[in-house]
Amino acid sequence: MERLQNNYLFPEISACEFEHKRKFPNEKIISLGIGDTTEPIPEVITLAMSDFTRALSTPEGYRGYGAEQGNKALRKAIAEIYYRDMPVQDTEVFVSDGSQCDISRLQLLLGRDVTIAVQDPSFPAYIDSSVIIGQAGDFQGETGKYENIEYMKCGPQNDFFPDLPNTSRTDIICFCSPNNPTGQAASRKQLQKLVEFARKNGSIIVFDTAYAAYISDDSPRSIYEIPGAREVAIEVSSFSKIAGFTGIRLGWTVVPDELRFSNGFPVIHDFNRIVCTCFNGASSIAQAGGLACLSSQGVKAMLSLVDYYKENAKILIDAFDLLGLKIYGGVNAPYLWLHFPGRKSWDVFNEILEKTHIITVPGIGFGPGGEEFIRIATFGHRASVLEASKRLKCLFAKMSFASHA
């Protein structure tokens, strides 16, 4: 724990927002920082949860402990809706209380003696959980990196996909696509290279698809669209950003039967043991909600939520058009990744906050590869996003974005 350098990124951003509110109690502060969903959940989903809940007061409707792996109907629905053509069995789907918990349970599974590679930049939980479990070694101030972690730089210069031939072998590769924070979705070709890289190196990919529903083009929505992925990849996903379940807590992890440790032992057996020992299942009420999400009405409802946030992204992208600002993402994910060459990301964060009262996230929070970048989340009420786009357009118009020589 001592090796962690700061507090977890998002509570830090919360604290900045709180402090700013305190200083400027009369300003309308707009948060495009923490990727928190804002729009109400469609009734087809919440009514299912409230019905299930009321039934818990009846003898017929009462449910005690559920299977730790999740409600069978829900596991089946997830397999059917998201993995029909791949295929993934319901027995390979483990329902959880969300990706952040799944990532830690996977770290518990993998233990402290494995080596890990992460995209740089990436969602902080991969690195932080790696440090906590004891894999990461010491932090090196000069590079901003932990000595035992392999950082796979993903930036404009390499089309946001790691230079695999120059990436060291690690036991585990964490890969998020569409990516938080860069918003980039890997192409089929790129993921084929990744799967081949893992296969050749005897590595396991932990593939995070929390934002797959935001994909606008034909980029793969699941790693299992790639042949051979079942032998090398675990997939983690979530209802948070597609159904507004950030507070309700529901997600899932897929561990294919074919995935083996190097001694041939099925990873799924060990993961199942961890789930049974260190967890007691996602809330039955949340799972009832999940099942409703996957009804035909529910799927439509989730699409409408995703479309809303994608429209927010479009509004922001359009607002910054012709300003000379280098914008990435926003097309396949609810995040814009803005490049401010030559500038420190906390400086840009502070300038944006002071001049527009908008909370963003400094790119350095996602890894050294995030320096010079700012992440803008495209969650938010439409009115706030429109207001934010005006304020930011005003600010960016006054900035120069020439790259330093």
Would you say 14 or 187 has its CB closer to other proteins? 14
Which helix or strand (DSSP H or E) is residue 107 part of?
Answer: helix 99-110
By CB under 8 A, tell whether 4 contacts other proteins.
Answer: yes
Would you say 83 or 309 has its CB closer to other proteins? 309
Would you say 219 or 240 has its CB closer to other proteins? 240
Size of residue set near other proteins by CB under 8 A:
67
By CB under 8 A, tell whether 108 contacts other proteins.
Answer: yes
Q: Which stretch binds other proteins (CB under 8 A): 51-59, 178-186, 223-231, 363-371?
A: 51-59
Instruction: Give the footprint of other proteins on residues 60-99 (CB under 8 A).
Output: 61-66, 97-98
Would you say 83 or 245 has its CB closer to other proteins? 245
By CB under 8 A, tell whether 249 contacts other proteins.
Answer: yes
Instruction: Give the footprint of other proteins on residues 114-133 (CB under 8 A).
Output: 124-125, 128-129, 132-133
By CB under 8 A, tell whether 247 contacts other proteins.
Answer: yes
- Can you name the residues that pair with 359 across neighbouring β-strands? 31
Which SS3 state, helix, strand or coil, does residue 126 take? helix
d(CA 247, CA 97): 10
Site string for other proteins, 21-40 (x = CB under 8 A): -------------x-xxxxx
Would you say 148 or 283 has its CB closer to other proteins? 283
Token pair belonging to 284: 């039955």
Which SS3 state, helix, strand or coil, does residue 377 take? strand
By CB under 8 A, tell whether 387 contacts other proteins.
Answer: no
- How far CA 263 is from CA of 259, 266, 275, in Å, comes to 11, 9, 22
Buried b / exposed e over 37-65, threshold 16 CB at 10 Å, is bbeebbebbeebbeebeeeeeeeeeeeee
Which SS3 state, helix, strand or coil, does residue 174 take? strand
Give Dmax over CA atoms of the chain in angstroms.
Answer: 73
Instruction: Give the footprint of other proteins on residues 131-190 (CB under 8 A).
Output: 132-134
d(CA 198, CA 218): 23
By CB under 8 A, tell whether 279 contacts other proteins.
Answer: yes
- How far CA 203 is from CA of 9, 134, 169, in Å, comes to 28, 19, 8
Token pair belonging to 58: 């009846």
Token pair belonging to 402: 């020439």
Q: What share of the chain is helix, strand, coil (3-state, %, to 5)?
A: 45, 15, 40
Site string for other proteins, 206-245 (x = CB under 8 A): --------------------------------------x-
By CB under 8 A, tell whether 11 contacts other proteins.
Answer: yes
Would you say 34 or 86 has its CB closer to other proteins? 34
Would you say 164 or 274 has its CB closer to other proteins? 274
d(CA 286, CA 46): 10
Q: Quick check: 374 and 363 in contact, CB under 8 A?
A: yes
Interface positions with other proteins (CB under 8 A): 1, 4, 7-8, 10-11, 34, 36-43, 45-47, 49-51, 53-54, 56-59, 61-66, 97-98, 100-101, 103-104, 108, 111-112, 124-125, 128-129, 132-134, 244, 246-249, 273-274, 277-286, 289
